[in-house]
Amino acid sequence: MDADEEDFVFYGTPIEREEEMTSRKKKAVAEATGQMRALPPWKQEVRDEEGRRRFHGAFTGGFSAGYYNTAGSKEGWTPRSFTSSRKNRAEVKQQSIFNFLDDDEKAELEGRSLGTSLQFDTFGFTAAELARKQAEKEQQKRPSAIPGPVPDEIVLPAANSIGVKLLLKMGWRHGHSIRDAHSNSLYDVRREARKAFLAFSSDDAKTSSDQSEPVIRDHETTIEQPNDNIYSSQSTPVYVLHPKQDLHGLGYDPFKHAPEFREKKRQRVSGRDISMSESLFASRSGKVAPGFGIGALEELDVEDEDIYASGYGFEETYVEEVEEPSKMSRDHKQIMGKNEEGILPGFKVASKSDYQLERFDPPVIPNDFKPHHKFASPLEVENKFTEPPPLEVPPPEDNNMKVLIEGFATLVARCGKLFEDLSKEKNKSNPLFCFLTGGKGHDYYARKLWEEQQKRNDQKRQQMNLKPLPTEKKLTAESRGKILGEKPLERSLRDSDSSVTSADFLHLKINLSDTFTKPASLNEFLEAAKPFIDDPAKQERFELFLKEKYQGGLRSTDSGGSSTMSEAERARERLDFESAVEAIEKGGHSKGTNLSSSQQFLELSTATKLQFTSGGLEQVKSPQAEELITKKMYPKREEFQWRPSPILCKRFDIIDPYMGKPPPVPRPRSRMDTLIFTSDSVKTTKAEDTATTNRDALPLSQLEPEDKKFEITSMETVVDSNKENIERPVDLYKAIFSDDSDDEGESSSANQVENPEKKTEVANTTLNRLIAGDFLESLGKELGLEVPPDPVDSINKASTTASQKESLRASTGCVKHQPADVKSSSILDDVNKPVRTQEAAYGNISLLQIKTGSSSNGNNLDYANPQNDGTQVNSTIQSGGNSSKVDLGKMDPDDKRVKTCFRQDQGWKSSESSDDERSRRHSSRHRSQNSSSSSEDEQVQKHSRRHWSRSSTSGSDSSDGPRYRDHSRSKVEKKGSSRGKSSSTNRNKKHSRHRTHRNGDSPSSSSRHGTERRRHGEAKKEKRKSKDHGSSVSSKYGSHRKHRRDER
Amino acid sequence: MSASDLPRKEANVLRGHEGAVLAARFNGDGNYCLSCGKDRTIRLWNPHRGIHIKTYKSHGREVRDVHVTPDNSKLCSCGGDRQVFYWDVSTGRVIRKFRGHDSEVNAVKFNEYASVVVSAGYDRSVRTWDCRSHSTEPIQIIDTFLDSVMSICLTKSEILAGSVDGTVRTFDIRIGREISDDLGQPVNCISMSNDGNCILASCLDSTLRLLDRTTGELLQEYKGHICKSYKLDCCLTNTDAHVTGGSEDGFIFFWDLVDASVVSSFRAHSSVVTSVSYHPKDNCMITSSVDGTIRVWKT
């Protein structure tokens, strides 16, 4: 909060609020006091006490009403003189359409309203209208018991013109034409009635009506004629409006460009439409208001009229006189009566009808037709008597066979020898029917046939005796069914006895199949291909299926499958058959050999087998097969990589197998974290990409540390990674090396110069740690404490810092203090080992790191003489750069998270690191120019100052405060001890030693993964820290502190 | 051990649970047993004398599994309240409640050192909880399962878990590997052989399957019982000679390990046998049932 407030300048005293303000309220208040005040009125936001933006309504200003939510105007608030609302009541505004019209629309509207002037107001419409208005006006003025406007019905001004009056007296009514059309008796009758009804002179009417007057007729006023000849008056049609009868848009003329069709259409339509419309409109005009519920085609007939007939006819038109309702109804009734004969009222009989129901004569039955089929050869009734009965033969053991034979025998007995011959021919190749041709079961068949024939003959004779020609006399449904071989409708019985059913079923099937004539194609099919030849039962079913398919008739419920099959199997088989048929059909088209079609089928069946888990030819043993398959399939073993968490390993007392490997992307803990990490993960994958590219560039065979190759590949990867993420900074190693290896690594330094901004936070934080001593010192200076300048030290400093860096690098590289050659040999061993697949990605990186590690180790060992072997160092640099580059990608998550800094520790780190980056850049440039100690010192000071200022100003994160303080406190604490450069160097050395020590106790397996392990170590430390302090502390910070503690 | 030595004689009936008993477990040395059930309690018994010793009440819903440390000092339990409870046996107080499972917790186990509690839940995850630290956050969440995890087993270096997705997954901490054995059938319960070489998985197709742990090979299938909808325990006898398990019709089955024949089966309970636990040393077995009783069986 303190840091927060430093940024703002406050005027006045903040309003104190109660404690129970919600956070949102607080925020609102804070904003109101802090931000809003300073803003100009058009930028201010109005919020309510809950902190929400005030919403005035979508159409009344949205979030801003009035003049930027104020009551004023741009000129300010202008007071007006007071007007009493008591005197000036708010007027009730009467809205009219004019309120909503634009000016041009109003003008348009003004010219629109047409009306007859009083002069020409023949029918008094305008007068009536005027009168009504007048009445309304009067009514409004007059105090009335009934508030509101009087219903129009009550106020009925009699404002008929004299002409109307006269006409009405003459017998004319509204909606009727004035004409001479009373030739028929009906009209006379009506007229007589009217005459009687009216108390006016009939003579006048007669005379007037006798002379055929001009007919006033508009589209509504054509009266319908009871009979069919349409009345057309002699009068001049004044203005004929055509009713809109089509569904086109207004003014649209479909025949505009083809007028010849218009005539056609009219002709076509006229026959019925005109009469209809006339009748409709005529009847409607007078009696019934055009309203809802009456369709265009509905005739207003008896029911409609009867309602009004009983009492007074309420007319809608005001001017119309109520006149002879009873008569009207009678008229209509009479009309109805006239129209009755098979024609809808309002319709007339068409002279010639376009549409005729096509009727076909029933087929002529030839005289000699007999309603059931007979085979050409006579039933061998008589001659069978003489034949000696075949031997009694035991039925074949195959029950199916037995059933088949029996069924067939019955059939043959009924249909005659010809059928046997036919089927013999047909099923020549079918092994199932081998009993016909004298194969297995032939004896039994012969016997059975004989028996059946005997039976049949007996029956015949009986029938003959009892009633001659029973079948021809009475053909009941049952008997017909029997003849046709239909199943009797005894479903339940069938179901209950399945064994009988199957037998019956077969009978029926055969009967069925043979009663109907087969199409030729079916026979072809059967001969062409027997796709299930190895499974006779199935083949049989297939044939049945085919028969059903091609004959169409009488499909049984359990089509095709045997009764033992399950529903699923049946369905599958059906599909199978379907495909088989298709295949055969295809083959049939080519009409090639049987072979080809069957081949085709086989193909198809295999295809289906692929499609359905089991099927095709192994249908019968499918359950077992499935079981087998499942047994074969399960149990299925798979292996995955799984990373136990380090603590788990610890708790299980097991060495973490992934020790030293970079931790997986941490599990997001909160929504915030997820947000933060999403970007990181993307970056991580990028880094992974880099890794893979690296691997690609470096095949396993090349893993021998050949400097040249190494250099090239590493260069490549550097370039690659640069390309891939431009903003990714140059790695730690480069950063470190570039300082004191300008003379050596030309390429790296060039790179450095090229991308001066590419500095990683990691690098900088390490550097930060590295120059912590300097930092502390400078801090001391900053705080006004004397730090005695030590010229000797400063002279030494160049070398010491270099060495310091070396050691640090070594430490960060997690290289053990082991002889380099041993290291490298072990590395080689590792390399030669087949890299496990899941670690493949890491393998090369680690190798690179190892390389780096070893070389840097070498460096470390002889840091006393900085003049190293040129090429060696060069390669080191580059390989180091490469590896750490790759590595950095992985590290990125941490560092990026740092940037977003929701956790305290990282908040600090971020501010510092980004800051460091700058200073770092600075320093590197400086160093490239001259590596004198003084410049560095300066720079460190700069850095520290900047850091200080930054943390003081930009620590928007309030949680930064304590940490920072902690940090500074530690600095202050340290101050005393960290006087000399040497001491700080020492400390750093110690630190590094400590680090390496820590890493040293980790198992050798992990030593392969230099940097990663370092990270792991840090993570570990972090965990420990977190345990110690309850909150997770930045690893770097943590290590820093740790180091301090160690020192102490 | 011959078939005659099987514990078929009812030695004691432990009554006390109100409602179904969901699990009954011997402690490490087999002198005591723990049971838990739908009455939201955990009960400690001496099954040999048939004495009820202690009741642990704190769960808000049914308790589905309980386990005791080898030193008998701590308990862990889990259940429908989505929490894993870490109890002190003697005081009967809850030391820690591990919250984190998103739904019911089906099984819970201590590791060898009683430093970690591993729990398996309906939320398709296995979570490990640290008993040493004060953290109530899981150390690790294993969520590779595709369905509810029903049962877990622990060895010195592995976590085994059976899931309704049909897999038995072995998480080898030592090599950092997950080995998934897909059985194709929902796995209800897994149990390790005493030699640690085999795993017995009870599947919901009324089959117990014995797997070789090193190869993942299916060694044997044991059928005859009914296990279609309940979580029924199964285990091997102390000598690994027989396989035993409950059935949904209240029977207990004994199969021969090798030839998978039903050596013995008898009606033990009036209702579903939810849990069986075999004495680590003797021919003694406890079974628990939905009928609310725990029965102790001896030869």
Query: Which pLDDT tens digit goes with each residue over B184-214?
Result: 888 989 999 888 888 999 988 888 888 888 8
CA atoms of A154 and A981, how far apart (whole Å) = 114
Q: A632 at the B interface (CB within 8 A)?
A: no
pLDDT tens, A216-246?
A: 444 443 444 444 444 444 444 445 567 777 7
What is the arrangement of strands in the sheet containing B126-130, beginning at the earlier edge strand?
A: B105-110, B116-121, B126-130, B138-142
The residue-averaged pLDDT of B96-110 equals 89
Please give the average per-residue pLDDT across B96-123, as a whole number: 89
Chain A within 8 Å of B115 (Cβ-Cβ)? yes
Q: Which of A638, A652, A838, A1028 is the best residue to mutate to test the B interface, defined by the most B CB atoms within 10 Å of its own CB? A: A652
DSSP codes joined into one string, A795-835: HHHHHHHHHHHHHHHHHHTT--SS-HHHHHHHHHHHHHSPP
Residue with tokens 């399950």: A566
Beta carbons of B172 and A642 less than 8 Å apart = yes
Inter-chain touch A652–B111, beta carbons under 8 Å: yes
Write out A268-297 in H/E/C secondary structure.
HHHHHHHHHHHHHHHHHHHHCCCCCCCCCC
**Could you tell me the two tokens for A725?**
């993420």
The helix or strand, by DSSP H or E, that contains position B210, with its residue range, turns out to be: strand B207-212
Mean of the pLDDT values across residues A919-926?
44
Taking CB atoms and an 8 Å cutoff, what residues of chain A touch B175? 657
Cα–Cα distance between B81 and B194 in angstroms, integer? 32
| Residue of higher predicted confidence among A493 and B209 | B209
What does the mean pLDDT of chain B come to?
Answer: 88
Query: For B25, what's the count of Cα atoms within 13 Å in the CB-facing half-sphere?
Result: 24
pLDDT of residue A979: 42
Name the residue with higher pLDDT: A60 or A885: A60
According to the model, what pLDDT value does residue A243 have? 73
Contact B176 A658 (CB under 8 A): yes
Task: Give the pLDDT band (50/70/90) at residue A412.
Answer: confident
**Cα B115 from chain centroid?**
19
The dihedral sign for the CA sequence A596, A598, A600, A603: negative
| pLDDT class of B5 with cuts at 50, 70, 90 | confident
The b/e string for A829-849 (b: 16+ C-beta within 10 A; e otherwise) is: ebbeeebeeeeebbbbbbbbb
Token digits of residue A870: 């040129």
Any idea what DSSP says for residue A425?
Answer: H
Q: Are strands A636-641 and B284-289 parallel, antiparallel or unpaired?
A: unpaired
10 Å CB burial of residue A962 (0-12, 13-18, 19+) is exposed
Residue A888: which of A852, A864, A923 has the closest Cα? Answer: A852
Is A651 close to B130, i.e. CB distance below 8 A? yes
Q: Residues 1024-1043, chain A: which have Cβ within 8 Å of B?
A: 1027
By the CB < 8 Å criterion, does B174 face chain A? Answer: yes
**What number is the average pLDDT over the span A446-463?**
71
CB-CB: which of A635, A647, A649 is closest to B183? A635
Of A634, A644, A652, the CB nearest to B183: A634
Whether residue A552 has pLDDT greater than 60: no
- Taking an 8 Å cut-off on Cβ atoms, the answer to whether A1027 and B173 are in contact is no
Reduced to 3 states (helix: H, G, I; strand: E, B; else coil), residue A171 is: coil
Q: Is the pLDDT of residue A732 over 60?
A: no
The residue among A783, A896, A855, A804 whose CA lies nearest residue A1010 is A855
Q: Is A149 left (phi over 0), alpha (psi -120 to 50) or beta?
A: beta
Separation of alpha carbons A224 and A242, rounded Å: 16
A257: number of Cβ within 10 Å:
7
Of residues A744 and B80, more confidently modeled? B80
Query: Rounded to a whole number, what is the distance in Å from the CA of B14 to chain A's nearest CA?
Result: 35
Q: Is B111 on the interface with A (CB under 8 A)?
A: yes
Q: Which of residues 825-844 of A touch B (CB under 8 A)?
A: none
Name the amino acid, one letter, at B255.
Answer: W
Question: Percent of chain B at pLDDT above 70?
Answer: 99
Query: Chains A and B: how many Cβ contacts under 8 Å?
Result: 96
Measured from the Cβ of residue A705, the count of other Cβ atoms closer than 10 Å reads 19
B contacts of A630 (beta carbons < 8 Å): 184
| Chain B CA closest to residue A669 | B137
A639 has a chain B CB within 8 A of its CB: yes
The model's pLDDT over A940-963, given as tens digits with 9 standing for 90+, comes to 444 444 444 444 434 344 444 344
Between A204 and B21, whose confidence is greater?
A: B21
Residue of B nearest to A645 (CA): B140
* pLDDT classification of A123: cutoffs 50, 70, 90: low
Of A34-48, A500-514, A669-683, A759-773, give the range with the top mean pLDDT: A34-48
Reported as a pLDDT band with limits 50, 70 and 90, residue A758 is very low
B32 vs A908, residue with greater confidence: B32
Compare CB distances from A639 to B128, B157, B177 and report the shortest one's residue. B177
> Chain A within 8 Å of B156 (Cβ-Cβ)?
yes
Nearest to B139 among A633, A638, A647 (CB): A647
Contact A654 B141 (CB under 8 A): no
What is the spatial distance between Cα A1022 and Cα B91, in angstroms, rounded to a whole number? 36
Chain A residues with CB-CB distance to B211 below 8 A: 635
pLDDT of res. B76 = 92
Determine whether B77 is exposed, middle or buried from the number of CB atoms within 10 Å of its CB (0-12, 13-18, 19+): buried
Mutate to test the interface with A, among B140, B145, B157, B160 (most CBs of A within 10 A): B140
Could you tell me if A770 and A988 are in contact, meaning their C-beta atoms sit under 8 angstroms apart?
yes
Å from A629 to nearest chain B CA? 11
Chain B residue numbers with beta carbons less than 8 Å from the beta carbon of A628 are: none
Decide if B176 and A641 are in contact by the 8 Å CB cutoff: yes
Report the C-alpha gap between B41 and B36 in whole angstroms.
6
Kindly state the average pLDDT of the residues A734-760: 46
Segment A64-73, tens digit of pLDDT: 777 776 776 7
- Write down the pLDDT at residue A823: 42
pLDDT in tens, A317-350: 444 444 444 444 444 444 444 444 566 777 777 7
pLDDT score recorded for residue A189: 64
pLDDT grade for A733, boundaries at 50, 70 and 90: low
Half-sphere exposure at residue A898, Cβ-oriented, CA atoms within 13 angstroms: 24
State whether residue B134 sits within 8 Å of chain A by CB.
no
Q: A407: which residues sit within 8 A by CB, 6+ positions away?
A: A503, A506, A507, A510, A511
For residue B209, which residues of chain A lie inside 8 Å, CB to CB? 635
Domain ranges in chain B are: 24-234
User: Residues B17-23: what's their mean pLDDT?
Assistant: 89
More confident residue, B52 or A75: B52
Question: How does residue B36 score in pLDDT terms, banded at 50, 70 and 90?
Answer: very high
Whether A667 contacts chain B with CB within 8 A: yes
pLDDT reported for residue B108: 92
Interface touch A639/B115, C-beta < 8 Å: no
Q: Measured between beta carbons, which residues in chain B are less than 8 angstroms from residue A638?
A: 179-180, 182
Residue A545 pLDDT more than 60?
Answer: yes
- Whether the CB of B139 is below 8 Å from some CB of chain A: the reply is yes
B207 touches chain A (CB under 8 A): no
**8-state DSSP, B121:** E
**Which residues fall within 8 angstroms of residue A422, CB to CB, at 6 or more apart?**
none
Contact B77/A at CB under 8 A: no
Predicted confidence (pLDDT) at residue B225 exceeds the cutoff of 80: yes
Q: Give me the mean pLDDT over the A912-927 stretch.
A: 44
At A645 the pLDDT is 85
Chain A nearest-CA distance from B34, in A, is: 25
Cβ of B215 within 8 Å of Cβ of A637? The answer is yes
CB < 8 Å to B119, chain A:
none
Q: What is the pLDDT, as a whole number, of residue A507?
A: 53
CB-CB neighbours of A850 under 10 Å: 27
What is the percent of chain A with per-residue pLDDT over 90, rounded to a whole number? Answer: 0
For A146-201, how does the pLDDT look when each residue is reduced to its tens digit (9 = 90+)?
A: 555 555 555 555 556 788 888 888 877 776 666 654 455 566 666 666 666 664 44
pLDDT at B161 over 60: yes
Query: If we measure between CA atoms, which residue out of B57, B53, B51, B15 comes closest to residue B39?
Result: B57
pLDDT tens sequence across A243-273: 777 788 887 877 777 777 877 777 776 654 4
Minimum Cα–Cα distance from B211: chain A residue:
A635
CATH topology of domain B24-234: Methylamine Dehydrogenase; Chain H (2.130.10)
Average pLDDT over residues A862-866: 41
Q: Is 80 exceeded by the pLDDT of residue A503? A: no
Average pLDDT over residues A740-762: 44
DSSP B20-79: -EEEEEE-TTSS-EEEEETTSEEEEEETTTTEEEEEEE--SS-EEEEEE-TTSSEEEEEE
Mean pLDDT calculated for residue range A777-785: 57
pLDDT of residue A37: 57
**B216 part of contact set with chain A, CB < 8 Å:** yes
Q: Which residue has the higher pLDDT, A750 or A102?
A: A102
A640:B140 CB<8 A = no
Instruction: Output A549 or A976, whichever has higher pLDDT.
Output: A549
Span A300-311, pLDDT tens digits:
554 554 444 444
Paired strand residues for A57: A62
Give the pLDDT band (50/70/90) at residue A555: very low
- Percent of chain B having pLDDT more than 90? 14
Cβ contact (<8 Å) for A667 and B115? no
- Which residue would you say has higher pLDDT here, A282 or B259? B259
To the nearest whole number, what is the mean pLDDT of chain A?
Answer: 55
Test A642 with B171 for CB contact under 8 angstroms: yes
Instruction: Give the model's pLDDT for residue B66.
Output: 92
pLDDT at A161: 74
- Would you say residue B272 has pLDDT above 80? yes
Q: Which residue has the higher pLDDT, A424 or A298?
A: A424
CA dihedral A821, A823, A828, A833 (to 10 degrees): 160
Segment A4-9 mean pLDDT: 67
Considering only CB atoms, A645 lies closest to which of B139, B144, B156, namely B139
B91 touches chain A (CB under 8 A): no
What residue of A is the nearest CA neighbor of B127? A648
Residues A464, A469, A473, A474: what is their CA dihedral angle, to the nearest 10 degrees?
50
Q: In chain A, which residue's Cα lies nearest the Cα of B143? A: A642
> What pLDDT shows up at residue A637?
82
Written as six digits, the tokens of A529 are: 């291909």
Say how far apart CA A776 and CA A1044 lie, in whole Å. Answer: 12
User: Best mutation site among B177, B181, B198 for testing chain A: the one with the most A CBs within 10 Å?
Assistant: B177
What pLDDT band is residue A49 in, cutting at 50, 70 and 90?
confident
Q: Is B142 on the interface with A (CB under 8 A)?
A: yes
- Please tell me if residue B260 touches chain A, with a CB cutoff of 8 Å: no
Q: Does A666 touch chain B (CB under 8 A)?
A: no
For the segment B89-102, the average pLDDT, to the nearest whole number, is 88
pLDDT number for residue A940: 42
Chain A residue numbers touching B156 (CB-CB < 8 A): 652
CA-CA distance, A611 to B28, in Å (whole number)? 53
